[in-house]
Amino acid sequence: MNAISHDVAKQPAVAPGSEGSKLAALNAWVAEVAALTKPDAIHWCDGSDAENAALIAQMQADGTLIKLNETTHPNSYLHRSHPDDVARVEHLTFVCTTKQDDAGPNNHWMAPADGHAKMDALFDGCMKGRTMYVIPYCMGPIDSPLSRCGVEITDSPYVVANMRIMTRMGAAPLARIEREGKFVRGLHSIGELDPERRFIMHFPEELTIKSFGSGYGGNALLGKKCHALRIASHQARSEGWLAEHMLILGLENPQGETHYIAAAFPSACGKTNLAMLIPPEGYRADGWKVWTVGDDICWMRPGADGRLYAINPEAGFFGVAPGTSAKSNPNALKSIQSNTIFTNVGVTADNQPWWEGLDDGQQPVTDWRGNAYDAAKGPAAHPNSRFTVSARQCPSYSPEAENAAGVPISAIVFGGRRPSLVPLVFEARDWTHGVLVGAAMGSETTAAATGAVGVMRRDPMAMKPFCGYNFADYFTHWLSFDQAGAKLPKIFHVNWFRKGDDGSFLWPGFGENLRVLEWMIQRVKGEAGSVETPIGHLPKDDEINLDGVELTDEARAKLFGFEREGWQAEFASIGDYLDEYGPRMPQALKDEQQRIAKALQN
């Protein structure tokens, strides 16, 4: 495509206008990658509308993108990935640190020299016949001191189109890279999409990522989980901040006060739904509002006043489509009515995107593989099908998402899918207890990763697939924020997924979750009481506003109760889990676990 691709012989592997600039390291790296991968053409992405239009036209022409109904979903497209390339591949994801202990038992490890050798052998000549795209990008507001820049080199125009939505991409980040002289390096190729030749390698000590053999979201959009969590968590530890798998929302009360909450849930456990929550009707009438700052990733740094300030490093949403509906998440549904890339969803007779749970009265005729839909052969949309859309299209989008200073965090929330034992909400006693609550977090697995679904596993801070170094050191880093002068957020744990004896959910969830957030902020302000138990502070009777919510006696008992014997077994399991990390596990966390375990025996 002449509008995009330039002959390598005519376009050197240097940033436009960079001769004699501070981009020498970037230019040298691009030239080195071009020599290894041997593309037919090189294109430096500027992020412009014209460039994006040309890329979209190219992908329509070769079938990478399929135009959807222009009337119902203007400027929106469908992408179908390879059927073997539909989710994160945690077993093929490696952290390559000099010392294996620095990666920890929570990561697959490979020596850096071995990792580079394995990946470079795969990359050798892999871009012959393809264009090599160079994508400068910024994670976070372009002028924020909390933001960090990167460059992804890829042979996938689909990746370019998605990175343009998910990051601040193009000329402005390139200018910042030139000013700062440093960036995260990400090299990606779809290769042959062979599952046997698929690896994602992270070299945190070098701020480098290499990904081969996948075109799927988090495996290919290297600004997302690879940079914003695995590499950034390593950066954050050395620079004194936190890179977390958390949504950020603003809760505005009728008095006009806005408190910001960061919440960590494993993938497909409701982060996007909570980030875009619409208050129940009575709350809306009283003037409550929820503002969406981010739905997936949060970078936090202590401010001069001792509080934690957070930015969302992403500029878009890469959300799970199935289950998204006018009932579950009206704001998400409104966000994706235009200018959206859908991946692996079904299609209706009039070419509209469709997925299970949409509840729009339509029926799919084509499934996510492109075959005629047959319910007997599986769902129309892959369970991990996605939408990519600019955050600015969300009706609840907060202008504070572009605040270079970040937003002050009043509360941190942890939660996962726990069908039994764990109550609706409890508050940690202090920061150390809160870190243990996050470290011990458990959840049932979902379709966002390959492997069995519905298996309970420990997922500390929802970072099990994403922490770029040893969890024991990560917990130590979290504990280090509790120092003189710090005004740290209160820490809570929630469980929207508690089930009754009949297997049905006991809490209505969705917009009703605001009632729990309200109690949290009342606790932050010292305006609500609690019942003290060994596991933390539970709400007192009637301190969570349940007007209009019908709960059975069983639901009340299980959502707000404390089951001593079950928690005794849970804390014994937590002790075993902490021991898995050996002597690097901070003693403060082990002491806290033992203190609570002892209290549970009384």
CA distances from 259 to 250, 264, 266, 281, 486 (A): 6, 17, 23, 20, 18
What would the DSSP string read from start to end of 344-372? S-EEETTS-EE-TT--SS--EEE-TTSSB
Residue 388 assigned to a binding site? no
Q: Which of 508-512's residues contact partners 24+ apart within 8 Å by CB, and which partners?
A: 508/549, 509/270, 509/273, 510/273, 510/277, 510/327, 510/328, 510/329, 511/277, 511/278, 511/279, 511/280, 512/280, 512/549
Residue 220 assigned to a binding site? no
Residue 564 assigned to a binding site? no
Cβ partners under 8 Å of residue 309, min gap 6: 146, 300, 301, 302, 303, 405, 406, 407, 408, 409
CA distances from 272 to 122, 208, 269, 547 (A): 36, 29, 9, 25
Please identify which of the residues 226, 269, 394, 467 carries the catalytic annotation. 269
Q: In what order do the strands lie in the sheet with 66-67?
A: 66-67, 77-79, 341-343, 386-390, 316-320
Residue 272 assigned to a binding site? yes
**Collapsed DSSP state (helix, strand, coil) of residue 137:** strand
What is the spatial distance between Cα 176 and Cα 548, in angstroms, rounded to a whole number? Answer: 52
Residue 104 assigned to a binding site? no
Residue 296 assigned to a binding site? yes
- The single residue listed with the structure tokens 């047959």 is 374
Q: Which of 64-70's residues contact partners 24+ apart within 8 Å by CB, and which partners?
A: 64/157, 64/158, 65/158, 65/161, 65/341, 66/347, 67/351, 68/342, 68/347, 68/351, 68/352, 68/353, 69/350, 69/351, 69/352
- The single residue listed with the structure tokens 């689909």 is 158
CA-based torsion, 27, 31, 34, 39: positive or negative = positive
- The single residue listed with the structure tokens 């030749």 is 197
CA distances from 210 to 103, 214, 459 (A): 17, 11, 25
Residue 325 assigned to a binding site? no
Q: Are 120 and 201 in contact (CB under 8 A)?
A: no
Residue 334 assigned to a binding site? no
Q: Are 357 and 323 in contact (CB under 8 A)?
A: yes
Residue 590 assigned to a binding site? no
Residue 167 assigned to a binding site? no
- Residue 269 catalytic? yes
Residue 270 assigned to a binding site? yes
Q: Which residues pair with 533 in a beta bridge?
A: 536
Residue 273 assigned to a binding site? yes
Residue 265 assigned to a binding site? no
Residue 512 assigned to a binding site? yes
Residue 43 assigned to a binding site? no
103, two tokens = 């990666």
Residue 267 assigned to a binding site? yes
Residue 417 assigned to a binding site? yes
What would the DSSP string read from start to end of 367-404? -TTSSBP-GGG--SS-TT-EEEEEGGGSTTB-GGGG-T
Q: Which residues pair with 556 in a beta bridge?
A: none
Residue 386 assigned to a binding site? yes
Residue 301 phi, psi (nearest 5): -140, 140
Amino acid identity at 377: K
Residue 225 assigned to a binding site? yes
Residue 392 assigned to a binding site? no
- On the 0-12 / 13-18 / 19+ scale of CB atoms within 10 A, 474 is buried
- CB neighbours (10 Å) of residue 397? 18
Instruction: Provide the annotated binding site for substrate.
Output: 88, 216-218, 267, 384-386
Catalytic residues: 269
Instruction: Provide the annotated binding site.
Output: 88, 216-218, 225, 245, 267-273, 296, 384-386, 417, 510-513
Instruction: Provide the annotated binding site for Mn(2+).
Output: 225, 245, 296
